[in-house]
């Protein structure tokens, strides 16, 4: 059997397993599986900007939180059906990313990172003090749904759609080369006639839409949302760590990183009853990855497959 055929067979088997998983797992592990899918979506969406353009967005939580609140407000206060509210929440996240990207994508490096971080913090503060709309620190309550399976399938569907879009973007269009050019040599890309700002803005808006959709699903699933929960810096931190751990600028790296990091976190929490051990462990793991496998777990597996664990990895979109 050829390698592409084997890959398709294994992919089909994995998809089938994911589809029947809710019928095999107890409620607790269903929640863990749903959380893992959510983190995979967030890591992949962050990687669109951080991995493919090299712009470190430290305000990713802003889109997640705004999507959660927008979906909740449309559902609870406007009486809009959840499906429509979710799409509207994604649209609000995209508009927010557009408004944020127009000024901030004109700056680079630490300035961009600080600007996006400050924006996320500001959004959290606005949600806290605007009690008439958001409920303030008490948050908003969503209608409870006893069955967790719909949220699992929603997260899975969003992840698959995101990966499909990424496949079309990275493997099937010249847009991927634009992004790699921006990441490697932005000034040279401009000199070659590439519309660098447009390329960055498009992928930034797409990243915001996906994160907002994940936030909207999370809002209905968790039933109560507060600014402290949906705008917390840990959302961005985990997205960054998972992408780095799996492999920046790769197709499957963030998904692998999300699965490994989140399942490890839950295992440590179940074993020790505290997040302290996880924070220490993930800090050490990130240091080791940065020092010894800067291309992440996926890069390590790829190099081992080629017979050299220390050969440099070529950017995926340029292959």
224-225 and 140-141 beta bridge pairing: antiparallel
Phi-psi region of 249 (alpha: psi -120 to 50; beta: other; left: phi over 0): left
Transcribe 241-291 into DSSP letters: HHHHHH-TT-SSHHHHHHHHHHHHHHHHHHHHSSSHHHHHHHHHHHHHHHH
Q: Give pLDDT < 50 ranges for the chain.
A: 308-315, 317-319
pLDDT of residue 242: 92
What is the CATH number assigned to the segment(s) 3-318? Answer: 1.10.3470
Domain ranges of the chain: 3-318
Structure pTM? 0.88
What is the C-alpha separation between 150 and 22, in angstroms, rounded?
10
pLDDT of residue 103: 94
Convert the pLDDT of each residue in 28-83 to its tens digit. 888 999 999 999 999 999 999 998 888 999 999 999 999 999 999 999 888 899 89
Convert the pLDDT of each residue in 186-205 to its tens digit. 888 888 888 889 889 999 99
User: Which has the closest alpha carbon to 226: 69, 59, 60, 117?
Assistant: 69
pLDDT of residue 2: 57
Phi-psi region of 54 (alpha: psi -120 to 50; beta: other; left: phi over 0): left
What is the C-alpha separation between 119 and 59, in angstroms, rounded?
6
Assess contact for 142 and 220: CB atoms under 8 A: yes
Assess contact for 184 and 62: CB atoms under 8 A: no
Where would I find the beta strands (DSSP E) of 195-253?
224-225
pLDDT of residue 310: 36
pLDDT of residue 204: 95
């Amino acid at each position: 059997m050829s390698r592409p055929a084997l890959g398709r067979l294994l992919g089909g088997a994995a998809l089938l397993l994911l589809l029947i998983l809710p019928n095999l797992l107890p409620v607790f592990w269903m929640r863990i599986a749903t959380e893992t899918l959510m983190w995979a979506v967030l890591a992949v969406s962050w990687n669109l900007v951080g991995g493919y353009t090299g712009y470190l967005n430290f305000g990713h939580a802003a889109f997640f939180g705004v999507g959660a609140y927008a979906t909740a407000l449309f559902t609870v206060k406007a009486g809009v059906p959840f499906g429509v509210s979710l799409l509207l929440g994604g649209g609000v996240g995209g508009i927010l990313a557009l408004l944020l990207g127009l000024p901030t994508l004109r700056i680079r490096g630490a300035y961009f990172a600080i600007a996006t971080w400050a924006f996320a913090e500001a959004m959290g503060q606005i949600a806290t003090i605007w009690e008439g709309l958001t409920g303030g620190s008490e948050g908003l309550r969503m209608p409870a749904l006893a069955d967790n399976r719909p949220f699992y399938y929603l997260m899975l569907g969003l992840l698959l759609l995101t990966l499909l879009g990424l496949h079309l973007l990275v493997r099937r269009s010249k847009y991927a080369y634009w992004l790699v050019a921006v990441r490697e040599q932005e000034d040279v890309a401009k000199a070659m006639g590439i519309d660098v700002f447009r390329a960055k803005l498009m992928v930034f808006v797409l990243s915001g839409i996906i994160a907002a959709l994940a936030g909207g699903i999370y809002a209905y699933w968790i039933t109560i949302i507060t600014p402290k929960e949906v705008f917390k810096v840990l959302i961005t931190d985990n997205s960054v760590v998972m992408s780095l751990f799996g492999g920046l600028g790769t197709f499957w790296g963030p998904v692998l990183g999300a699965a490994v990091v989140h399942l490890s976190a839950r295992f440590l929490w179940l074993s020790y009853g505290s997040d302290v051990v996880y924070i220490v462990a993930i800090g050490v793991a990130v240091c080791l990855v940065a020092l010894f496998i800067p291309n992440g777990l996926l890069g390590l597996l790829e190099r081992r497959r080629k017979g050299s664990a220390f050969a440099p990895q070529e950017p995926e979109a340029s292959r």
